[in-house]
Structure 1
């Protein structure tokens, strides 16, 4: 059996996916440029945990020749590699485009060139729906919530019109559409996962991406936290274990769901405002947090909750981790890797 290729496999979601794949009996190729500081530790962890079941290729998805060689060996591809920060895309939109759009097309062309169709499952984002300015929202003690009952009860579905904002939204949205069109134009088995906020083990978030872990790291190290906007933005946070299960569910039935996009997130039961999460972090840490405010950031959604009923009905996927339990688990993991405030601040 040929190995499974995980591009961006050294990243947070990618390494968790690779770990689960090996535990289910697959060999894995991790393809990653290691551009993000510290992600090489995830590759080391995978190798220490699984030995020769995991091989690694240090290369960029913009390298067509190297990517083609990797795809040629693969039975399936999970395309997690990306430039992931809105702020970075605003600073350098060309590099963002080359990584997210050209990298995706390189991968699709490599998969299309294989003798047998190679499934491609793509990690997209809720940012393809833009800032959702057409969603009528009401401020509540729990954060911004839709006025209309449908999105309030179930979240935002896949029928929401696409509306790309910021270079990051444009690049991920374009890649999203290329992946879907390769199923239509070339009969390549593909699927798209439009993710909300994923958090969990081995996440080392920054101010630009991975906000749950970022807030925890700052809190545990006694450093100030900046809230952009009023902090009443609502997100449906999803533990990475449940996210990985959804990716595997799509792959197992790729012939049935090829050419389709699915919203993936914690759903209404795990929908929380940023301030609600900070209050829970304060409780877990046991000390008051130093929180300041700044202006809203470009393209920020005041509300996004994924309506995952299509994913659930089509694939039988269910969330298993409550958000408070997942955040508590991540807190304990980060305590182990941030044993002293002085070390974290250094």
Structure 2
């Protein structure tokens, strides 16, 4: 059955979240009926759900439920033509406070979903949202401090970033739970033939992101700066991340679904790549340029599992999924600043991106 003729709904767990709501918007705009399965436990996600319903009407079916409700999730999943599994406990800090809850949400719920598909809907594609944290803190790599940013000494990593061949090394309960779920998804493809693939995401940013200090740090930096409040950097601020506009991330998820038979059983790094790599200090300096004033910055100790550098080698995803050119981080961050200012009623002129 072709995508166009299959009238079954798409299921997005965590569909009212930042990436989930953007993905739901894209798919509903393409004419799909989308089930948004979300516990609405995070601040701001109710606003995202209301926006989706107002924008798309009956193409959006909200189900307010916890993914730990295994029977309910299973009954919904087996009716779908594809499952995008984005629901998760997403913060390293929270996982350190309550590792059991982190386990229940990230591992046990994923296993329950996989079992539902294996036993009741074995041909339904599953795209799983993983994280670059599965590679650990990269402490074995050597870095040089250049222009206020950590850069790899290894020439190949400097040129292309961290590839999928990098050994897995789970740090913190969050890294363990997401990494274990990542591996369960890949093994269900290998052991049971599930049409499943994994996207290991770097830092995604963009509209509808309700950034906090623990998750969604690009939006968090912008929100604090727009409101004239101080920003705390954990570590020295020379950490480098590759940041990716959410529109590019959504495009990758859709492409993974459309190419599922070619990519089932594979994991891909998904990030901005070397062209969109930026240090925290450089990003804050750019935010200061956008808002026309310096940002108030303080420093605190490094946080557990923090990476001095992570830039994804995205060549495998680009080749296998046919991904196009990415949004440049300067214009993407400027667009997010304008959206956040408007959404929060902040009268702040935002400079045109350089």
TM-score by length of 1: 0.97
Shift of 1:312: 1.1
| Residue number in structure 2 paired with 1:206 | 212
Q: 2:327 aligns with which of 313, 321, 325?
A: 321
Once residues 330 and 71 of structure 1 are traced to their aligned partners in structure 2, the CA distance between those partners, rounded to angstroms, is 33
Shift of 1:338: 2.1
Once residues 95 and 200 of structure 1 are traced to their aligned partners in structure 2, the CA distance between those partners, rounded to angstroms, is 28
Shift of 1:320: 2.8
Aligned 8 A contact 1:126 1:194 in 2: yes
Shift of 1:319: 3.3
Aligned pair count reads: 341
Q: Which runs of 4+ in 1 moved over 3 A?
A: none
Once residues 230 and 13 of structure 2 are traced to their aligned partners in structure 1, the CA distance between those partners, rounded to angstroms, is 34
Shift of 1:311: 0.8
Q: 2:299 aligns with which of 293, 298, 301?
A: 293
The reply on whether 1:181 has 2:187 as its aligned counterpart is yes
Q: Deviations over 1:65-87 (max 9, x none)?
A: 11011112100000000000000
Aligned 8 A contact 2:136 2:305 in 1: yes
Once residues 270 and 325 of structure 2 are traced to their aligned partners in structure 1, the CA distance between those partners, rounded to angstroms, is 10
Q: 1:310 aligns with which of 316, 320, 325?
A: 316
Once residues 148 and 117 of structure 2 are traced to their aligned partners in structure 1, the CA distance between those partners, rounded to angstroms, is 45
Where 2:178 maps in the other structure, the secondary structure is: helix
The 5-angstrom pairing of residues 219-298 of structure 1 reads 219-298=225-304
Once residues 142 and 224 of structure 1 are traced to their aligned partners in structure 2, the CA distance between those partners, rounded to angstroms, is 20
Q: Deviations over 1:28-79 (max 9, x none)?
A: 0000011112211111000000000000111111111110111121000000
Aligned 8 A contact 1:7 1:78 in 2: yes
Q: Deviations over 1:202-226 (max 9, x none)?
A: 1110000100000000000111100
Aligned 8 A contact 1:220 1:338 in 2: no
The 5-angstrom pairing of residues 141-156 of structure 1 reads 141-156=147-162
Once residues 296 and 76 of structure 2 are traced to their aligned partners in structure 1, the CA distance between those partners, rounded to angstroms, is 46
Q: Deviations over 1:108-132 (max 9, x none)?
A: 1111122451111000000000000
Q: 1:104 aligns with which of 110, 113, 118?
A: 110
Aligned 8 A contact 2:195 2:264 in 1: yes
Once residues 168 and 321 of structure 1 are traced to their aligned partners in structure 2, the CA distance between those partners, rounded to angstroms, is 29
| Residue number in structure 1 paired with 2:4 | none
Q: 2:41 aligns with which of 35, 45, 49?
A: 35
For structure 2, which runs of at least 5 residues remain unmatched after alignment?
1-6, 348-354
The 5-angstrom pairing of residues 126-145 of structure 1 reads 126-145=132-151
Once residues 30 and 293 of structure 1 are traced to their aligned partners in structure 2, the CA distance between those partners, rounded to angstroms, is 38
Aligned 8 A contact 2:237 2:281 in 1: yes
| Residue number in structure 1 paired with 2:352 | none
The reply on whether 1:121 has 2:127 as its aligned counterpart is yes
The reply on whether 1:9 has 2:15 as its aligned counterpart is yes
Where 2:78 maps in the other structure, the secondary structure is: helix
Q: Deviations over 1:214-272 (max 9, x none)?
A: 00000001111000000000000000000000111111010111000000000000000
Aligned 8 A contact 1:142 1:272 in 2: no
